Amino acid sequence: MKRTSVVLLTALAPLSWGTTYLVTTEMLPAGHPLLAGLLRALPAGLIALMIGRTLPSGGWWLKSLLLGSLNIGAFFPLLFLAAERLPGGVAAAVAGAQPMIILGMSALVLRDRIRPLTAAAAVAGTGGVALVVLGPAAQLDALGILAALGGVTATALGMILTKRWGRPAGVGPVAYAGWQLTAGGLVLLPLTLLLEGVPDTIDGGSVLGYVWLGSVGGLLAYTLWFRGIQLLPVIAPGLLALLSPVVATLLGTLVAGESFTPLQALGIALVLVALVVGQLTALRTPRRSPTPAREHSLPASQA
């Protein structure tokens, strides 16, 4: 499949994630970010395992647990915590720092060369989302900002390790996503029961919100996302993540009635320019020959 097609399919993941903030604030019961992450991950993961009909083997049990913990187990509760403490656009916009984090990690872990134009696009994207975050009507909550930054840092490391380890030969993208979603969900299960429990009532709107997050934002999005990470230079999906704050900000304005200023509009325009330039640069990167993952136990130094 052509890289452009892979990019477009991968972009569906952050586009769907941009709805998370509106769904969380408008449909889900407040005060239950762990439960929201659990119901987004574990049911989708189990369904993916049934579809894929493949379980990890050898060192992939430990790798799947680590990847699931980073991409799901840590990311989801921090994501929902940020969504509850910040306006939707602000919470998602903090994710704009992720390309900068990915650039640094890819240079250290993957030994990727940082291209000046790619770095400029990442800086411009981060600056663009800063304009959105620092809009005059933005309510900046310190814990919310820290939660959002912690979430994108965890998933950035998860992306780097996903790229480094690849996917075992003969394992499809649905099964691979199922490994991580299930592992992340199992990490969240005891935390949810011990720290939160379940809300007294869950109405029909909450059920619809959980179904949306688990099906579109979970199973479909992560299948496309992990596939894109493996087929594209890692910075390409990292930059695509900038679509999430754009969608969330627009939805926050159109649906939730959040304010939208010219400065924030400038920030979104800068994000979109950075996204296009960064993708064009990334797509010119020579394609690496895929290397099948080796089936051995993961050394402690890599865990």
201-240 pLDDT per residue, tens: 899 999 999 999 999 999 999 999 999 999 998 888 988 8
What separation in angstroms does the CA of 268 have from each of 129, 130, 147, 190?
7, 10, 22, 39
Rounded Cα distance between 235 and 272, Å, is: 15
pLDDT grade, residue 289 (50/70/90)? very low
Residue 51 has pLDDT above 90, yes or no: yes
**Mean pLDDT in the chain?**
84
pLDDT (0 to 100) of residue 208: 96
Q: What confidence tens digit (pLDDT) does each residue in 66-117 have? A: 999 999 999 878 877 776 777 655 666 676 778 888 998 998 888 888 888 8
pLDDT grade, residue 290 (50/70/90)? very low
Among residues 25, 26, 36, the alpha carbon closest in space to that of 72 is found at 36
Among residues 43, 9, 41, 54, the alpha carbon closest in space to that of 176 is found at 54
Lowest mean pLDDT, pick from 129-133, 233-237, 258-262: 129-133
| Beta carbons of 44 and 214 less than 8 angstroms apart | yes
Instruction: Quickly list DSSP for 40-54.
Output: HHHHHHHHHHHHH--
Residue type, 44: A
Rounded Cα distance between 165 and 226, Å, is: 12
pLDDT (0 to 100) of residue 145: 82
The pTM of this model reads 0.84
**CA quadruple 138, 82, 102, 40: dihedral positive or negative?**
negative
Residue 56 has pLDDT above 80, yes or no: yes
Residue 292 has pLDDT above 60, yes or no: no
Residue 258 has pLDDT above 80, yes or no: no
pLDDT grade, residue 259 (50/70/90)? confident
Q: What percent of the chain has pLDDT over 70?
A: 87
pLDDT (0 to 100) of residue 90: 66
Q: What percent of the chain has pLDDT over 90?
A: 39
Rounded Cα distance between 180 and 27, Å, is: 26
Residue 301 has pLDDT above 50, yes or no: no
Rounded Cα distance between 31 and 43, Å, is: 21
The helix or strand, by DSSP H or E, that contains position 209, with its residue range, turns out to be helix 204-214
Residue type, 174: V
Long-range contacts of 57-62, Cβ-Cβ distance < 8 Å, separation of 24 or more: 57/168, 57/295, 58/295, 58/296, 58/297, 59/295, 59/296, 59/297, 59/298, 60/168, 60/179, 60/293, 60/295, 62/297, 62/298, 62/303
Angle between helical axes of 204-214 and 33-52 (0-180°, round to 10):
50
In this structure, what token pair is assigned to residue 6?
Answer: 């892979």
Rounded Cα distance between 217 and 49, Å, is: 17
pLDDT grade, residue 263 (50/70/90)? confident
